[in-house]
Structure 1
C-alpha cells in the first residue's frame, strides 16, 4: 500500500523556512510554549495567546483551548479542534489557548516502520533516534494504525473544577484500524510540571474528521519523523488566575500521569 506522506521540503516551504537566507526564516525545531502543565492542572484554563499568534511561533504542535474546550493539533500550520465527541474541525484564529506547544518542524531523523509495534516499541525507536534523554523532541508518525485510543476534554464553566476532576469524566474513543497522523513532543523528565515529561501525542485521521489526545496505540506501518529540540521559549501568562495558581503540588507526577492517561 502506498502511504501518503509529505516531503521534508514541502513542510519547510509551507513554513517559509526555505528560500532566502537562513536568518530570514523561522527558527526551526525551537519549542514555543504558552503557560505550564502545572497551571493547567490547577484549573488555569484561560490564556492570553490567540491561535493566530500561536502560528507565528510554529506550524506543528498541540495544546488545548480556553475553558478547556477540547484538544488541539497543529499540523502544517492548520489547527484542528477535537471536541468531546472526538469530531475534529478547523477553528478561527481569534480563539485563545491556555496551554500549547508549537515549533517550526524540521525533521532531522526519519525512520520507516514496516512491522507493527506498540506504544513502548514506538517510544524506544524515537529514543534511539534522539540519543539524548535530556533534550526535547518533536515527533510525527504518518501511516497506518492497528488501533488508536483517544480522549477529549469537555468545555468547562466557571468556577473551573481541577483538571483531575475533569478528566475523570471524559470519554475515551477506540478508533480501531485507521490511517492518519500522530504528532507531539517528547519532554525530558526534569521538565515535569513545566510540560508533560515523556510523550504527549495527539492524533488526526487522514480525512481530518476524528482524533484527540492519544492514550494508547499500535502502529502498523508508516513514516516516523523526529526533530531534536534544544531551544525552548516559555511565555507565562500575567493573569490573576496564573498568579494564584499552585504550581508545585506534592503529587504532580501522579497528577500528570492520570491527566495524560499514562
Structure 2
C-alpha cells in the first residue's frame, strides 16, 4: 500500500509553483500517457506509483502489463487484480496510464433517493455545469448494486485491449457500501482520455472493487469539482512511438474497452 508522506507533498507542491507555499495544487488533473495508447496495447509505462503520488491523492488507472485496475483514495494506491480483491502495492510499481488530482470538492449534495447510472450522471452534469471542462467525482454511500470488472496481467507480445476485455473477469456486488470515484472527460478529449465518465469502486471495508460498468445507488454523499488545469505526461518509449493513436472507430473501441 502506497501513501504519500505529508512532508514530501508540501515540498513537491512548492516546486510545482502553485503560488501558495506549503499547499498542493488542488483540482489539477495529472495524466500519464493516453487512453488511445492503452487501447493499442501500450501497456508498459515509465511512471512509478511514488512519482504518480507527487501529483495527486485521488484517481484511477492501471499497472504495467495491464495488471489489474488502480484506485487512489486519500493518497493510498490499491490494486484490483483478476479476482477483484484490493491489494497493497509498492511505490516502485509502474503505470502505463493513470489520472490523479488533489481533490477538493467545490460542490456536494446529499442523495436520498435511488438513482441509476443515467440519472446519477445527469445530476453530476448539473452540478459541474460546463460540459467542456473535466470534472472529478466522488460518491460515498450505499449501493443497491455495483458491477465491476478487472483485467488479467498480460504477457508479451501484448494483445490489443479489445481482445483482453473479451476475457475480463466481472463481478456484481449487491447492498454494498463504499466509494465510487473518477472523472468526467469532455467529448473532444476522446482518445486522450475516456470521453464521458470513467469510475472505479472501492468497498467500505477496502477489500473489493474495480472498474465500474453499471450501478444503482441508494443514498449517500456526492462531491464534485470542476477541472480546467490539465497536465499530460507522454511516454518517450519505442512502444508509444509506434502506437496507432488515431485508429478508425476510436470512440467505439473505447466504449467496448470501458464496458459502456
Band the TM-score falls in, shorter-chain normalisation: over 0.9
Q: TM-score under structure 2 normalisation? A: 0.93
Single out whichever of 186-195 and 83-92 deviates more from structure 2: 83-92
For 1:3, the equivalent position in structure 2 comes to none
C-alpha distance 176-33 of structure 1, shift in aligned 2 (>3 A) = same
Runs (4+) off by over 4 Å: 12-17
2:217 is matched with 219
Shift of the alpha carbon at 1:96?
0.1
Superposed displacement of residue 176, structure 1: 1.1
> Do structure 1's residue 85 and structure 2's residue 96 form an aligned pair?
no
Contact 2:117 2:214 in 1 (8 A): yes
Aligned to 2:228: 230
Contact 2:46 2:235 in 1 (8 A): yes
Which ranges in structure 1 are unaligned for 5 or more consecutive residues? 1-11
Counterpart for residue 237 of structure 2: 239
Judge conservation of contact 2:9–2:54 (CA < 8 Å) in 1.
Answer: no
**C-alpha contact 1:147 1:176 (8 A) present in aligned 2:** yes
Please state how far the C-alpha of 1:13 moved relative to its aligned partner.
Answer: 11
Give the match's secondary structure for 2:174: coil
1:48 aligns with 2:46: yes
TM-score, structure 1 normalization = 0.92
Instruction: Name the SS for the 1:177 alignment partner.
Output: strand
CA distance in 1, matches of 2:88, 2:132: 34
Q: 2: distance between equivalents of 1:68 and 1:177? A: 29
User: Which deviations, in whole Å up to 9, do the C-alpha atoms of 1:112-157 show, x marking residues without a partner?
Assistant: 0001000001101100001110000000000100000000010000
Which residue number corresponds to residue 163 of structure 1? 161
- Partners of 2:149 and 2:7 in 1: CA distance: 32
- Distance in 1, Cα, partners of 2:9 & 2:130: 27
Match of 1:143 in 2: 141
Size of the aligned set, in residue pairs, is: 248
- Cα RMSD, aligned residues only: 1.6
Whether the 8 Å contact between 1:127 and 1:133 is mirrored in structure 2 is yes
3-state DSSP of counterpart to 1:168? helix
1:193, 1:247 within 8 Å by CA — same for their partners in 2?
yes
C-alpha separation between the residues in 2 aligned to 1:251 and 1:241?
21
Matched residue of 2:251: which SS?
helix
Q: CA deviation at 1:25?
A: 1.4
CA distance in structure 1 between the aligned counterparts of 2:136 and 2:90, rounded to whole angstroms: 25
State the distance in 1 between where 2:220 and 2:193 align.
28
Give the deviation of 1:83 after TM superposition: 0.5
Q: Which of 106, 109, 121 is equivalent to 1:111?
A: 109
1:22 partnered with 2:42: no
**How far did residue 77 of structure 1 move?**
0.2
| 8 Å CA contact 1:14, 1:76 repeated in 2 | no
Partner of 2:62: 64
Gaps (5+ residues) in structure 2?
1-5, 14-18
